[in-house]
Amino acid sequence: MTSPDPRRRRILFRATHRGTQETDRLIGGYVAPRLMDFTEAELEAVEALMDLPDPDLADWLMGRLPIPEGPHAPLLRAMRAAVVAR
């Protein structure tokens, strides 16, 4: 998937180059197949989510810690469901 849109390319790069292989797979595995279909609001949510620390993201997405309520919760729950479905 190659997008001519620089924003989507940047999001894909950030999603697949997190710094740890675990979060690269968790976040990148969710973002990559859906990126071209994301709405503006979803793009903003993904960008904001990627500012969170990798250890927290990995713990939430792997189910080691409960997903906290807040603005990131819906996207985290969707990502967690995708992880479980794999």
Residue 80 pLDDT = 96
CATH superfamily of 6-85: Flavinator of succinate dehydrogenase (1.10.150.250)
Q: Where are the domains of the chain?
A: 6-85
Round to whole Å and give the CA distance between 9 and 64.
Answer: 30
Residue 7 pLDDT = 96
62-73: average pLDDT: 95
77-85: average pLDDT: 94
Kindly report, residue by residue over 6-61, the tens digit of the pLDDT: 999 999 999 999 988 999 999 999 999 999 999 999 999 999 999 999 999 999 99
Which residues have CB under 8 Å from 47's CB, separation 6+?
11, 14
